[in-house]
Amino acid sequence: MCWIVFRHFSKILLLWRGVLLFVLLGVTATAERAHIAVASNFKPAVEELKRSFEEQTGHEIIISSGSTAKLYSQIRFGAPFDVFLSADHLHPQQLADENLAIRNSAATYAIGRLTLWSRSVEIANISELADTSIRRIAIATPLGAPYGVAAQEMLAYNGLDATVSDKLVVGESIGQAFAFVHSGNADIGIVSLSLVLQLNEGERGYRWDVPDGSYSPIEQQAILLLKGANNEAAETFLAYLISPEARDIIESYGYTTP
Amino acid sequence: MSIPDLTALWLTLRLATVTTILLLLIGTPLAWWLSQTKSRAKPFLEAVVALPLVLPPTVLGFYLLVAMSPNAPLGRVWMLATGDTLSFSFAGLVLGSMIYSLPFMVQPLQTAFETTGKSAMEAAASLGAAPIDAFFSVAAPLAARGFLTASVLSFAHTLGEFGVVLMIGGNIPDRTRVVSIEIYEHVETLNYSDANALSIILIGFSFIVLTAVYTFNRKQAVHVS
């Protein structure tokens, strides 16, 4: 019995030495790790950016995605994020006001575009949303989700907000609104173009890109958070995000860049 | 603290009431069968009933979302019958809640039937009562505490439902925006005073209901012994 315990003990000791060695090596290496909070519309794009960034720099990126509003409130409550890729410019600015982010690090990395998207209905005109054959229109919540705010603005601009209000189903993020349409539960979604473009050609169904000018530009800003202030990986990633290479990637996901 | 909008609270109470009543209708025969059967299928059925206890709501929400889509048989039949999708509807939430709260109805009932049913039913049968008559005049009254516990737990569990509704509800006022979703939204939009007010109402309400049940159970126990 004693012998068994001892054997295990020596095994544990060996394991600990391994862990210690690993930690020491990790500290001496220059590669760092940055934890990035990203609005769910940008998740597909950031996955690709992460791959090429990690390959080039050796830094490691960890991604958490969610609705802008949720990530914002998590950051306020001390979530361990180094960089925030918001779907708007308001939330990063607010974090800077609250001294939780470095104001002069804020940069617009993408300008989002809205599209009407359906898997079953061809859409030629915005007014078709009022058609009785359209039962459910998915949007992100206008309380907090930037694409939801833009969708609501666009409906109001076209004088449709009252007409279609009964048909709206509201996702907590643009990702959920997108899933409502993708799973066939909603006929049409007012979603971000980027989410539609990530699908295979065969799955894209029908879409009608909403003209600019019927909603305020969705300026997606990135900002360095206080927790990431001395994190080289975080700073390098922010710089990479506005590099020509990153821009090309971002544009291929249906955004425009400044 | 201002008085928050109570629409979501009423909707939640309606959902919990409808769910509990329907679960009583379905759960009673199921629990009775489970309590009496010697079938080999019993453990499998018990496991199925208990599944919602251990599965994350996301699993349930995911499959419900898929099943309720008009592309799937269930969703299509519903669409043909009502002209509306089952997802994002009150009926959809009721279905989701019934699955989600099923073990809370069936398990206490089954236990109650197992402890009181057998000998009493045999006595009733020997006095010439038909099985249905014996159930309603003997077994069911004896299991009154089981019925109360099962109903209150199902009701309370539905009040506390969040994940499933978040996934299939679509956050529609007075139809699918239940109080847990409303609180979540208040927190998301930093409206802490309303989130707080609704939460306190929910805590108070749940506390009173549970206390009432435990008090009643204790009184009953004294009478019985």
Question: What is the structure's pLDDT at A10?
Answer: 56
End-to-end CA distance of chain B: 47
* C-alpha closest to that of A190 among A157, A147, A160, A225: A147
Closest-CA distance of chain A to residue B177, Å: 10
Decide if A79 contacts A138 (C-beta within 8 A): no
Decide if A148 contacts A140 (C-beta within 8 A): yes
> What are A220's strand-pairing partners?
A110
Measured between CA atoms, the residue of chain B closest to residue A133 is B83
Residue of B170, B172, B190 with shortest CB distance to A73: B190
Decide if B34 contacts B46 (C-beta within 8 A): yes
A257 is written with which tokens?
């860049």
> Of A91, A170, A188, which to mutate for an interface test with B (greatest number of B Cβ within 10 Å)?
A170
- Looking at residue B135, what DSSP letter applies? I
> What are A60's strand-pairing partners?
A33
- A-B contacts (CB, under 8 Å): 60
Question: What is the structure's pLDDT at B44?
Answer: 96
Chain A 38-97, CB below 8 Å of chain B: which residues? Answer: 67, 69-70, 73
Closest-CA distance of chain A to residue B86, Å: 8
Decide if A246 contacts A49 (C-beta within 8 A): yes
Question: What is the structure's pLDDT at A211?
Answer: 93
Question: Kindly report the CA angle at A182 between B85 and B48, in degrees rounded to 5?
Answer: 65
CA B66 – CA B69 distance, rounded (Å): 5
CA B44 – CA B123 distance, rounded (Å): 30
The DSSP bridge pattern shows strands A107-112 and A218-224 to be antiparallel
- Cα dihedral across residues A207, A212, A216, A218: positive or negative: positive
Are residues B84 and A135, on separate chains, in Cβ contact within 8 Å?
yes
**Chain B residues inside the 8 Å CB shell of A144:** 185, 188-189
Decide: residue A146, CB within 10 A, 0-12 exposed, 13-18 middle, 19+ buried. buried
Residue bearing tokens 């609270």: B9
Q: pTM to 2 decimals?
A: 0.79
End-to-end CA distance of chain A: 70
- Cα dihedral across residues B25, B105, B162, B71: positive or negative: negative
Tell me, what amino acid is at A174?
Answer: I
Closest-CA distance of chain A to residue B170, Å: 5
- pLDDT tens digits, one per residue of A105-154: 999 999 999 999 999 999 888 988 999 889 999 999 998 889 999 999 99
The runs of H, that is alpha helices, within A183-243 are: 193-197, 232-241
> Of B71, B74, B85, which to mutate for an interface test with A (greatest number of A Cβ within 10 Å)?
B85
Tell me, what amino acid is at A72?
Answer: Y
Residue of A73, A143, A184 with shortest CB distance to B69: A184
CA A16 – CA A176 distance, rounded (Å): 43
CA A28 – CA A178 distance, rounded (Å): 44
| Residue ranges in chain A modelled with pLDDT below 70 | 1-29
**Chain B residues inside the 8 Å CB shell of A148:** none
CA atoms within 13 A on the CB side of B46: 17
Task: Output the 3-class SS for B12-46.
Answer: HHHHHHHHHHHHHHHHHHHHHHHHHCCCCCHHHHH
B68 touches chain A (CB under 8 A): yes
> What are A225's strand-pairing partners?
A101
CA B213 – CA B13 distance, rounded (Å): 18
B189 is written with which tokens?
């939009």
* C-alpha closest to that of A90 among A238, A226, A219: A219
Full pLDDT tens readout for chain B, 225 residues: 456 688 999 999 999 999 999 999 999 999 999 998 999 999 999 999 999 999 999 999 999 999 999 889 999 999 999 988 899 999 999 999 999 999 999 999 999 999 876 777 778 878 877 778 888 888 888 888 899 999 999 999 999 999 999 999 988 888 899 999 999 888 877 788 999 999 999 999 999 988 988 888 776 654 443
The strands making up A206-209's β-sheet, listed across from edge to edge, are: A168-171, A137-140, A188-192, A114-118, A206-209
B99 touches chain A (CB under 8 A): no
